[in-house]
Amino acid sequence: MDIQELITKPSSQQRKALLNKDVSAVELVNAVYDRIDEVEEKIGAYNSLTKDIALQTAETVDEKIKNGEDLPPLAGIPLALKDNINYKGTYTTASSKILENFVSPYDATASKKLKENFIPVIGKANCDEFAMGSSNENSAFKIVRNPWNLNKVPGGSSGGSAAAIAAGEATIALGSDTGGSVRLPASFCGLVSLKPTYGRVSRYGLIAFASSLDQIGPFGRNVEDVALLLKATAGYDSHDSTSLNVPVPDYEKSLRNDLKGIKIGYIKELCSEGLQSEVSEAVQKTIEIYRSLGAEIVEISLPLIKYSIGVYYIVATAEASSNLARFDGVKYGYRTKNPENLYDMYVKTRAEGFGDEVKRRIMLGTYALSSGYYDAYYKKAQQVRRLVKNDFDNAFKKVDILISPTCPYTAFDIGSKIEDPLSMYLMDIATITANLAGIPAMSVPAGLDSNGMPIGIQLLANSFEETKLLNVAFKLEEVVQFKYDIPLKMLVK
């Protein structure tokens, strides 16, 4: 297989080629940069490239292979890192003008673990500004185009991470998921992704959006890659007080277990009304696949889902308004030119540095937290959040896994929703509940719609049941045999 083809394959094939010495890690990384030269102008997946860092890591891998040393499974596998995750010495902008020239002085814990696993970071992936959005159109620098159809959005907010893999500009990626931001882009770009249990992966060094919802999550071309990258990044971290001290299992070991005795519930409220017909058909087909694999299928009702968008957009904006207070032009980042006084400096810095969506959320969140409204909005939202969690707790007494579409629709046209924030917020109906409840959830490709755009199926499990979740996802993948490589062939001249 030639190297340009090898970079479009899942990590297992690349690892095999590395260990057989068919290619070196440096050659693999260079081949990815050749691909970037060829396609990146059309896609916009990266805010910056980190070639020196990637090549240095690749050289270490080659050295270790030469010396016959044992290597972790993802050593040498090219990765795209969302640009809201600190990686020492790289620009970390969160796709915001306010951090345009910010260089990370330290590593996020997830980045530290990438280094420990000798995973070369190809570049910092474009995203919605401060991870706020569902289409990646809120980046202050440039939009990201969906490699399956360049007129469509890749999904957000981790759109660059997903588009990079779908376009062959990386093999694996990390994103962050506050309300669906790794699952929606995976669903729109025909990839696998996983939002871990809250507390499973350290948030230290992830630029905070909504701290009680944020988790860093892996993307890959298949379930195995996602399992390996989760294993590489998960674990307790004393730097994150919400990280949980639970052992990290070997996720990939249980992927092939059979599904006899597993109970799967499809979520009534998300599988019935308001879906694109092909998405609805894909859900039905998935249910039939699981039935044929020996799983027991039941209907589960989660009646409070109807409140989840309202709850999420109060909790997330409230936390964002507080987290983003630190960007004031004093400590780091952009500062306005020639302010009249200190107050003027704060106001102008933030007015010039933040984009429209970020400002909208700061205003909404500040309002929800202000005295007089706190009880009516923020406190009420937190109470309903608890009830949403209770619904899941009850559901997981009856079933092992829940299923729904990842999104009611497939990828939409660039520009078609950006003027209407509410319709954009509604895209998150299926994904945000997992963040509100803190439970793990995945998106797995299930087929294409009539326009050739990927459809994603969401699978959810109880807290810390990622092993079961990945096993159920793997079994679907085996049957569906999704062709993730269509855009990889389309894009090359």
In the set 319, 428, 465, 477, which binds ligand GLN (CB under 6 A)?
Answer: 428
The DSSP result for 81-144, as a single string, is EETTB--TTSB--TT-GGGTT-B-SS--HHHHHHHHTT--EEEEEP-SGGG--SSSTT-SS---
Residues in binding contact with ligand GLN, number by CB under 6 A: 14
Does 491 engage in binding with ligand GLN (CB under 6 A)? no
Q: Is 157 in the site for ligand GLN (CB under 6 A)?
A: yes
Instruction: Kindly state whether residue 181 participates in binding ligand GLN, applying the rule CB under 6 A.
Output: yes
Using the rule CB under 6 A, give the single segment among 47-55, 179-187, 339-347, 395-403 that binds ligand GLN.
Answer: 179-187
Residue whose CB is less far from ligand GLN, 76 or 217: 217
- Identify whether 238 is preceded by a cis peptide bond (ω within 30 of 0): no
Q: How far is the CB of 128 from ligand GLN (least distance, A)?
A: 7
If one asks whether residue 146 binds ligand GLN (CB under 6 A), the answer comes out as: no
Closest contact distance (angstroms) between CB of 47 and ligand GLN is 16
> Does residue 96 touch ligand GLN according to CB under 6 A?
no
- Please, which residue, 24 or 178, has the CB nearer to ligand GLN? 178
- Cα separation, 452 vs 105, whole angstroms: 43
By CB under 6 A, which span of 52-60, 177-185, 226-234, 367-375 interacts with ligand GLN?
Answer: 177-185
Taking a C-beta distance cutoff of 8 angstroms, is the pair 141, 159 a contact? Answer: no
Closest CA to 363 of 325, 334, 335, 420: 325
3-state secondary structure of 51: helix
Q: Cβ 185 to ligand GLN, closest distance in Å?
A: 10
How far, in Å, CA of 176 to CA of 86, rounded? 12
134 binds ligand GLN (CB under 6 A): yes
Q: What whole-number distance in Å separates Cα of residue 448 and Cα of residue 186?
A: 13
Burial pattern 190-228, b for ≥16 Cβ within 10 A else e, equals: bbbbbbbbbbbbbbbbbbbbbebbbbbbbbbbbbbbbbb
Q: Is 401 exposed, middle or buried (0-12, 13-18, 19+ CB in 10 A)?
A: buried
**For residue 217, what are the contacts with CB-CB under 8 A and spacing of at least 6?**
174, 175, 176, 177, 182, 193, 194, 195, 196, 201, 230
> Applying CB under 6 A, does 132 fall inside the site for ligand GLN?
yes
- CB nearer ligand GLN, residue 269 or residue 357: 357
Q: Which listed residue (178, 202, 286, 462) binds ligand GLN by CB under 6 A?
A: 178
Does 308 interact with ligand GLN (rule: CB under 6 A)? no
Contact 154, 183 (CB under 8 A): no
Query: Where would I find the beta strands (DSSP E) of 189-336?
Result: 192-195, 215-220, 263-267, 296-300
Residues 96, 134, 135, 157: which is the catalytic one?
Answer: 157
Q: Which of 179, 190, 196, 438 binds ligand GLN (CB under 6 A)?
A: 179
Q: Residue 446 — φ and ψ, nearest 5°? A: -125, 0
Active-site position among 181, 243, 443, 463:
181
Give the interface segment with ligand GLN, choosing from 131-139, 260-268, 279-287, 339-347 (CB under 6 A).
131-139
Q: 54 vs 364, which CB is nearer to ligand GLN?
A: 364
Separation between Cα atoms, residue 3 and residue 23, nearest integer Å: 8
Among 177, 269, 466, 477, binds ligand GLN (CB under 6 A): 177
Q: 61, 315, 316, 364: which one contacts ligand GLN (CB under 6 A)?
A: 316
Shortest Cβ distance from residue 427 to ligand GLN (Å)? 7
Of residues 435, 432, 458, the one with CA closest to residue 445: 458
Least distance to ligand GLN, CB of residue 333, Å: 20
CB of 196 to ligand GLN, least distance (A): 13
Indicate which residue of 82, 113, 124, 231 is catalytic: 82
Rule CB under 6 A: say whether 153 interacts with ligand GLN: no
In whole angstroms, give the CA distance from residue 410 to residue 448. 9
Question: Which residues contact residue 220 at a Cβ distance below 8 angstroms, ignoring those fewer than 6 apart?
Answer: 10, 11, 165, 171, 172, 173, 191, 192, 193, 226, 228, 229
Q: Is 82 a catalytic residue?
A: yes
Site membership for ligand GLN, residue 433 (CB under 6 A)? no
Instruction: Determine the residue type at 162.
Output: A
Under the binding rule (CB under 6 A), the answer on residue 180 touching ligand GLN is: yes
Active site residues: 82, 157, 181
The residues that touch ligand GLN, with contacts defined as CB under 6 A, are: 131-134, 157, 176-181, 209, 316, 428
